[in-house]
Homo-oligomer: A and B are copies of this chain.
Amino acid sequence: MPLVAALDSVPGVRGVLGLFEGVCTGAADGYGRMTGRPALTLLHLGPGFANGIANLHNARRAPTPVVNVIGDQATWHRDADAPLTSDIGSLASPVSCWLRSADDPARLGADAAEAISAAWQAPGGVATLIVPADVQWSDGGRPGALAPPTPPPLPSGATLDAVAEALRHARAPAVLLRGASLLEPGLRSAARIAAVCGARLLCDTFPSRMERGVGRPGVERIGYFPEQGAETLKGTDLLVLAGSRDPVTFFGYPHTPSRLAPESCSSQVLAEPEEDIAGALEALADALAAPGAGRSVEPAERLRSSGALDPMTLGAAVAAVQPEGAIVMDEGATSGLPHYRAAAAAPPHTYLALTGGAIGQGLPCATGAAIACPDRPVIALQADGSALYTLQALWTQAREGLDVTTVLCSNRSYRILQVELARSGVAEPGRNARAMTNLSDPTLDWVSLARGMGVPAARAEDAETLVRELEHGLTEPGPHLIEAVL
């Protein structure tokens, strides 16, 4: 309570209420991705924090700067083991790059400043500060001095030379971009390298944030399933890791190696995540005497989508109308994939993906992105099964009047689980397995759910209606949801 009351004691604090902690942590992730600065979540003891873990897992994998402040029992009340008491440290450590319990009021300000610095420092991370109730209400607190993040260092000249040398000798090199290298300056340098070395530009299956569209260098995404990922990397003899890690399969499968690259492919680190990745790419381009510009995506005719909705027509419909400057949060899962291809030549836009695989990220992350960028339209391309994890985010969008248009991909199943079930050799799932993987019986009515949360909603069963409703949602201020029935 002292922390809640304190939100009004300092000017410039904007409190945003989430109706479930996973909304708050996912929104903090979206805010951090778009601004590079940490948002602060205020959470209540172990169970309140636990509700936010899944989206903090995604933030950790991004990685995104996020600061969690967790109100805890008074220090002297811990041993009483009251009902809400639990081991917060054990819950928090798997997602936190920095974790502390602030048990001394005199140090609380310094602890908070340190948490912010830890989260903010490149490449960003989740910092968690536990604040016992008595430390909140006690006298003796002093504001801490915030150390702004130090500029990330360039990799050593030896590293740059080694990578340049390897690129000169590679037959079929590829550069795997992650983090800052997927923003515009990094992409431009990467395109120069690609042009001079014939290197392909790749990104992970689920990038944290990528600038895309006409006029920007195009990047190929590594396929999701192991055979698709291996296909993406087939023939590659050198992988240059720009803030990235050697790519691995999403899950382990029988008789399938963890590593996706061919055995004969060597990997070479250009920059660690905590280094200046974009700077390293620029230095490498210069070292290779690359020309001043590489290739970018050419404008192409945008085809309007029509007919019955399926992932293809849905993706084409969204790509056809998404405006310049849009932020697309893609948690479309199996329904979202074709949009990625269709939007390659869309107007310049920002693409956000589900980094950690913890579903329920899309609606909250879109919410946070909209708070970060009030002048940009946000499109949430959202699978129905995943949306059900954190549908409460819709209410926050309504309360804050955020320009988020959600395309709710309603295929009424956990399609990815059905695919995985088939892949694991179950040709005819039994009654239980069928019941666990479909969302029908009863059918979820997303128009009612959205309206219940205060968000105007409509249903589209064909591409023409989807386009019309999208244009409406993107024009009218405030949030909208379109249930796209697949």
Could you list which residues of chain A lie within 8 angstroms of chain B, going by C-beta atoms?
A: 1-2, 4-5, 7-9, 13-15, 17, 19-20, 22, 46-48, 50-51, 53-54, 57-58, 61, 73-74, 76-77, 79-84, 86-87, 90-91, 93-95, 133-134, 137, 206, 245, 248-252, 254, 258-259, 355-360, 385, 388-389, 391-392, 395, 398-399, 417, 420-421, 423-424, 426, 429-433, 435-437, 439, 441-454
Contacts and interface: CB of A to CB of B under 8 A. Distances in A.
Nearest to A453: B444
B445 A13 contact: no
B442 A454 contact: yes
Per assembly, the copies of the chain total 2
Contacts of A357: 47, 83-84
A54 B22 CA distance: 12
A83 B84 CA distance: 31
Given A91-B94, A258-B76, A433 B4 contact: yes
30 contacts: A1-B421, A1-B423, A5-B429, A7-B436, A8-B430, A14-B432, A15-B432, A15-B436, A17-B436, A19-B389, A46-B57, A50-B50, A50-B54, A50-B91, A51-B360, A77-B251, A80-B258, A82-B249, A82-B250, A82-B251, A86-B95, A87-B94, A137-B424, A398-B442, A399-B441, A444-B453, A445-B451, A445-B454, A447-B452, A448-B448
B453 A449 contact: yes
Instruction: Name, among A4, A20, A420, the residue most crowded by chain B CB atoms within 10 Å (CB to CB).
Output: A4
Contact of A5 (B86, B94, B254, B426): B426
Closest CB pairs A-B (n = 4):
A8-B430, A77-B252, A74-B252, A442-B454
A252 B134 contact: yes
Given A388-B19, A429-B5, A451-B445, A86 B81 contact: no
A480 to B, nearest CB: 14
A421 B389 contact: no
A249 B449 contact: no
Given A8-B433, A82-B248, A90-B90, 4 more contacts: A5-B430, A15-B432, A46-B53, A444-B453
Contacts of A258: 76-77, 79-80, 82
Contact of A429 (B8, B245, B442): B8
